[in-house]
Structure 1
Amino acid sequence: MNTSVCTPDSLLTQLQWRYATKKFDATQKINLDQWQALEQSLVLSPSSFGLQPWKFFVITSPEKRAQLLSHSWNQQQVVDASHFVVLAIKKDLDEADVERYLARMAEVQQIPRENLDKLGGVVNSFLDKLDSPLAKQAWSARQVYIALGFFMLSAALLGIDTCPMEGIDPSAYDQVLELEDLGYQTVVACAAGYRAADDGSAQRLKVRYAQADVITYL
């Protein structure tokens, strides 16, 4: 059964419309209903095994956003965008995190926890093969980028601008936001809001390789 509520043309229109917004209109704010939908796009993002090795910090404090500005190459999106999200990964992912997820699965799906023992063994075995903290961090970071993509696409479909930001100092972000005490570390950030009328980047044509150069059917 086709449950699509978005046509191919409307999807492509919004993908052409979106760009990495360089200048936000600081006077325009995302309304509550739309923001709650964007929050859910993060909550509903897929991850390997469904493990969700992440947390998303929405920075509402103007003071903290001002502090982060100097650790973001002074990119004004940090302070001008309606909303600013820091996407972080769980440090030291271990069996306790797997158990937490399995307990949540049992609760939501209303099944006995012991029915998930085999799945738990598979996930723990996989994590054991990531034999260093750096390997686990790299795996977790890849999951975060899936969530970032979901968030940006959802925003585009709602007519909301975004700017993914890797031009930041993750360690400095962790200090400002005190993430180390919470067991998380910054990976990437994303500003969301509405483009300023004089953002020249909005008029630039997208530079992408031809479809034949990036898609191959085998």
Structure 2
Amino acid sequence: MLSVHIEKKLAHFQLDVQFAVGNERIVLFGPSGSGKTTILNALAGIIHPDAGGISLNDTVFYEAKKRPLSIQKRRIGYLFQDFALFPHMKVEANILYGVKQKGMTSQSPLIQQLLSVMKIGHLLEKYPTQISGGEKQRVALARALATEPHLLLLDEPFSALDKETKAQCHEIVIELHQTWSIPVILVTHDLEEAQKLGDRILFMEKGKIVRQEVNTGQKERLHST
């Protein structure tokens, strides 16, 4: 269980949110500038709250007046909007970047599973400049999951993709979540995407969660599979 309470003074408002996430997909939905990405960055340890607390199961990420847990120890996979692939590295090196200390190679069972699900095994020798936007998205997602995270954060990763590619990536996220059963938090301002991917949708305005909806359509789909 991920427990989140974040208070943070931002330029135009006070971010103050509190919520909990089980092994489900949560969508933070709202207009640009409402604090969604700030929440992801606080969870990842890129920034720190002014007050509150963040914990995942028995691991405390942040507690007021105590030293925050380092980014490296949080076991979080983070997929940024621009994918953040290293342009000078081939796809294989990008995927393996965060798991070298574990002795993983592209032949390791986990990496092979990710290559198969993402359908990117044929891209290993290419550079990011040589592949499409949808392929970059799948490579970046494989890199995030290769670290065997306990929490996956997705910051509008599909916004630049065409409709068909976006739909394919949505299905990949749903399939992987059903396999991994870890908390997933997705940021979007696309309501159709939120309704497709979220088990719950948290609606945000100016740093506050103004309402919450359980996605009944998503639940019905889950029970029918």
TM-score (norm 1): 0.32
Higher relative contact order (CA 8 A, sep 6+): 1
Higher alpha-carbon Rg = 1
